[in-house]
Amino acid sequence: MSKLTELNIASARDGLNKGEFSAAELAEAYIKAMEAGRELNAYITETPEVALERARQSDDRRAKGDHLGAMEGIPIAMKDLFCTEGVLTTAGSHILDGFVPQYESTVSANLRSAGAVMLGKANLDEFAMGSANITSYYGPVKNPWGAKVGKDLVPGGSSGGSAAAVSGGLAMAATGTDTGGSIRQPASFCGIVGMKPTYGRCSRWGTVAFASSLDQAGPMTQTVQDAAIMLGAMAGHDPKDSTSAPIDLPDFEAAITGDVSGLTIGIPKEYKMDGMDAEIQAMWDQGIEWLKAKGCNIKEISLPHTKYALPTYYIVAPAEASANLARYDGVRYGLRVPGDSLDDMYMNTRGEGFGDEVKRRILIGTYALSSGYYDAYYIKAQKVRTLISNDFKAAFEDVDAILTPTAPSAAFGIGENQDDPVAMYLNDVFTVPTSLAGLPGISVPAGLSKSGLPLGLQLVGRAFDEGTLLNVASALEDAAAFNFKPGGEG
């Protein structure tokens, strides 16, 4: 049975179609793997009963000859930011204690109706705020690659549980959400594929909000083809989300042709930063060579406002978060810590319910929006955001995709960077500009660092042109031939 957990979505689909195994067998194998891998702390809530029930329903559909979805029988981890009907949903926070939604998020509902089987709710940074999955109330997640170097490593964040689950074979694929890099950076750290689609491609309805103008759900998978299959099942216009794009879904899987010759790939000169890790630079140079060999034209481009992206992000995202998180007040659901007055109850509940990083961002955001500072911070940040967006628009006049590193380093140890929030924020330096511009980005595992840890390369595409992006990513994946598995799993 151990073989079943080595399959990916495409190969499992073939096996299920051929009747080599059932969805229930697949689910059982993953439930065992999930239980055996508890040391990683990748899941906050395991839902084996839900998984088995849905797997059996999938087998029934297949037996009856009913319509089969794109994710039929595929066992996945669900980032615990997606509200799931009847299943505890925590957002990694103490403040949502005991919160069991009566509703299902659009993304998880879409996946369910495409036949996906939910194994459990994946751990994450509290309210998706973090780059190392160390801010979760439910404890840090361990990167499966740590065993290889004999050290507890972070899986990246905020979708750290999802990345660790896929990397460690505790789920065939997983959902993630990306606000400033929360899918791509952990994908890079864990040696998997992680894609943030164009803002508006996936509905935000039923996903616990961090920063509404940036949050976007996406697939975290073992291969680029899997990402294409899963994205097709997650995405689509949703009238319940006003920012969801009212456009048709293309066939993402069919967009992967393997032929990228003649496409122009942009290399932004501003991403070559002072003090950049030589390994990262070498990996990036290697990526350029691979795409050249595939017939792509390489063009140096300029994204002049890149250096303002991180500070802009750390105004916009906390500002939105400060309002989005106001609803966690102890009045209607989740944690309530009593007090002598309404204000006391608020302070006790929010004081105890939120962790330090969440509090830090609420304070930053509240400050940025407050009277007398609003123009200097929030309005200025919005203006810079427009400039950053315009940089990309101009660049995409000349190029079809942009290649950059995903993260400035490989996975680091749990406990490192912990006392320096700014050092931690720098993890997203390559991913944040794309988020601010709302563009699709994908991290593809490209190779190993000298210490044997995975490094990812990021490709960025035009808005709503995920097809081209996936095609280029697939070519990069093919050239990189990343075949490594985390050591600890044998």
Partner 1 sequence: MGYVIKGETCDWEVVIGLEVHCQVISKAKLFSGAATDFGAEPNTQVSLVDAAMPGMLPVINEECVRQAIKTGLGLKAQINTKSVFARKNYFYADLPQGYQISQADQPIVGAGTIILDMPDGTSRSVGIERLHLEQDAGKSLHDQDPKRSFIDLNRTGVALMEIVSDPDMRSPEEVGAYLRKLRSIVRYLGTCDGNMDQGSMRCDVNVSVRPVGSDELRTRAETKNVNSVRFAMQAIEYEATRQVEIYDNGGEVVQETRLFDASTGTTRSMRSKEHAHDYRYFPDPDLLPLVFSDELVEEIKATLPELPDERKDRYINDFGLSPYDAGVLVAEKDTASYFETVAEGRDAKMAANWVINNLFAVLSEKGIGITESPVSADNLGKLLGLITDDTISTKIAKEVFEIMVESGDDPEKIVEEKGLKQITDTGAIEAAVDAAIEAGAKQVEQYKGGNEKILGWFVGQVMKATQGKANPGQVNKLLKEKLDA
Q: Should residue 383 be labelled a site residue for partner 1 when binding is judged by CB under 8 A?
A: no
Q: Should residue 78 be labelled a site residue for partner 1 when binding is judged by CB under 8 A?
A: no
11 is catalytic: no
C-alpha to C-alpha distance for 248 and 52, rounded to whole angstroms: 33
**Identity (one letter) of the amino acid at 390?**
N
Q: Should residue 125 be labelled a site residue for partner 1 when binding is judged by CB under 8 A?
A: no
Q: Should residue 86 be labelled a site residue for partner 1 when binding is judged by CB under 8 A?
A: no
C-alpha to C-alpha distance for 186 and 367, rounded to whole angstroms: 29
Closest CA to 438 of 255, 196, 117: 196
Q: Should residue 11 be labelled a site residue for partner 1 when binding is judged by CB under 8 A?
A: no
C-alpha to C-alpha distance for 377 and 394, rounded to whole angstroms: 26
C-alpha to C-alpha distance for 235 and 238, rounded to whole angstroms: 9
What is the 8-class DSSP label of residue 204?
-
Q: Which is nearer to partner 1, 333 or 464 (CB)?
A: 333
Q: Which is nearer to partner 1, 206 or 456 (CB)?
A: 206
Supply angle C-alpha 410, 272, 189, rounded to 5. Answer: 15
Catalytic residue among 158, 167, 188, 322: 158
Report, in Å, the least distance between residue 358 CB and partner 1: 14
The answer to whether the CB of 301 falls within 8 A of the CB of 398 is: yes
Catalytic residue among 58, 182, 244, 474: 182
Candidate segments 15-23, 45-53, 94-102, 138-146, binder of partner 1 by CB under 8 A: 94-102
From residue 263, how far is each of 228, 298, 461 by CA, in Å? 20, 9, 12
Q: Should residue 464 be labelled a site residue for partner 1 when binding is judged by CB under 8 A?
A: no
Q: Should residue 211 be labelled a site residue for partner 1 when binding is judged by CB under 8 A?
A: yes
Q: Should residue 290 be labelled a site residue for partner 1 when binding is judged by CB under 8 A?
A: no
Contact flags string 233-272 toward partner 1, x per CB under 8 A:
------xxxxx-----------------------------
Q: Should residue 393 be labelled a site residue for partner 1 when binding is judged by CB under 8 A?
A: no
Percent composition of the chain: helix, strand, coil (DSSP 3-state, to 5): 45, 15, 40
**Identity (one letter) of the amino acid at 401?**
A
Residues 322-381 close enough to bind partner 1 by CB under 8 A: 322-323, 325-327, 329, 331-333, 342-343, 346, 366, 369-371, 374, 378
State both tokens at 277: 């890790």
* Helical segments of 98-202, H only: 106-113, 146-149, 160-167, 184-190
Contact flags string 419-458 toward partner 1, x per CB under 8 A:
----------------------------------------
Q: Should residue 414 be labelled a site residue for partner 1 when binding is judged by CB under 8 A?
A: no
Phi, psi torsion values for 258, nearest 5 degrees: 85, -15
> Which residues are annotated as catalytic?
79, 158, 182
Which residue ranges make up the site for partner 1 (CB under 8 A)? Answer: 82-83, 89, 91, 96, 99, 101-103, 105, 204-209, 211-213, 239-243, 319-320, 322-323, 325-327, 329, 331-333, 342-343, 346, 366, 369-371, 374, 378
